């Protein structure tokens, strides 16, 4: 497995692979890899000749007073996870490599899907995401890119960008990977204290209960959201930012009753740690 640190070197590497007729899969990450990331890498490795894993904590998707400086980093661990998953390359540039002096070009999905859910409290976040993802697509020449469903709004925004800009790349959505107790895997889980982590299990519990309700015939969206809220509110330390339902992947407002594929999405704070989770269901 190679470690490549500059955009020019990765682009030359990818061009050489394409000359040889090889397909390229890209797994964009901010590092501190866990089994959720590994599942994306494994899927890419199974579907492509070459898998590139980007490890880059992207400064443009962090807002003021967010955790850019404290975001967990461990490249040596990332190398092990990526190699075990079948990666051929880790792309690990510096911020100045990706945003050189006088940088001034950004990609923005200017529609309601970036203004709801996480976009309400993080107004510049998705512009940072779509800018870096666009750059990674261009540098890597990837045929396919792999994104987890845990960041469902991010997935929907990237799918919209690819469709709107007629990008020659296929987006592969991948299911949420959870800890044995149900907590969705996230690099930010390391911020949780032992007691906060235990309380955070109300997220997956509330979503499992919602899935059961829907399987048993419940279609009233407000009732499902209310039941999710009641379960989460049983935790004394859960600070609810949002519990919402939208169509997926269009992220349009839902009617009163479930119809078609629907995203139930949560953002909850436990202490200073903000966690997201979701389910995508059909009636």
Enzyme catalytic residues: 37
Give dist(CA 70, CA 218) in Å, integer: 42
Could you write out the DSSP letters of every residue in 122-139?
Answer: -TTHHHHHHHHHHHHHHH
Reply yes or no: is the peptide bond before residue 272 cis, omega within 30 of 0: no
Count CB atoms within 10 A of the CB of residue 65.
Answer: 6
Which of the 8 DSSP states describes residue 220?
B
DSSP state, residue 254? P
DSSP string of 63-83, one letter each residue: -TTSSTTTS---HHHHHHHHH
Half-sphere exposure of 275 (CA within 13 A, CB side): 29
At 46, give phi and psi (nearest 5°): -75, -25
Q: Assign 170 to helix, strand or coil.
A: strand
Say how many C-beta atoms besides its own lie within 10 A of residue 194's C-beta.
Answer: 7
List phi, psi (to 5°) of 102: 70, 15
Residue the block writes with tokens 């919402």:
244
Q: Write the DSSP symbol of residue 252.
A: P
């Amino acid at each position: 497995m190679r470690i490549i640190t500059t955009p020019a070197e990765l682009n030359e590497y990818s061009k050489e692979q394409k000359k040889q007729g090889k397909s390229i899969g890209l797994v964009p990450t901010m590092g501190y890899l866990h089994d959720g990331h590994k599942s994306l890498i494994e899927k890419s490795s199974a579907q492509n000749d070459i898998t590139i894993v980007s490890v880059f904590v992207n400064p443009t998707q962090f807002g003021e007073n967010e955790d850019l400086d404290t975001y967990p980093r461990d490249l040596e661990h990332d190398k092990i996870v990526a190699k075990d998953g079948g990666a051929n390359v880790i792309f690990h540039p510096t911020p100045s490599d990706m945003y050189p002096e006088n940088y001034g070009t950004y990609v923005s999905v200017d529609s309601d899907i970036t203004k709801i859910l996480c976009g309400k409290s993080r107004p510049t976040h998705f512009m940072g995401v779509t800018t870096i993802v666009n750059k990674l697509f261009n540098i890597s020449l990837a045929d396919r890119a792999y994104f987890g469903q845990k960041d469902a709004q991010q997935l929907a925004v990237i799918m919209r960008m690819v469709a709107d800009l007629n990008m020659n790349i296929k987006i592969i959505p991948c299911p949420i990977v959870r800890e044995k107790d149900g907590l969705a895997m996230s690099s930010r889980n390391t911020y949780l204290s032992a007691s906060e982590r235990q309380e955070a299990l109300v997220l997956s519990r509330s979503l499992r209960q919602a899935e059961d309700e829907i399987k048993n015939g419940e279609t009233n969206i407000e009732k499902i959201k209310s039941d999710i809220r009641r379960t989460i509110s049983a935790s004394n330390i859960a600070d609810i930012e949002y519990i919402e339902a939208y169509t997926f992947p269009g992220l349009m407002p839902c009617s009163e009753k479930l119809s078609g594929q629907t995203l139930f999405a949560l953002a909850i704070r436990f202490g200073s740690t903000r966690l997201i989770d979701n389910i995508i269901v059909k009636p």
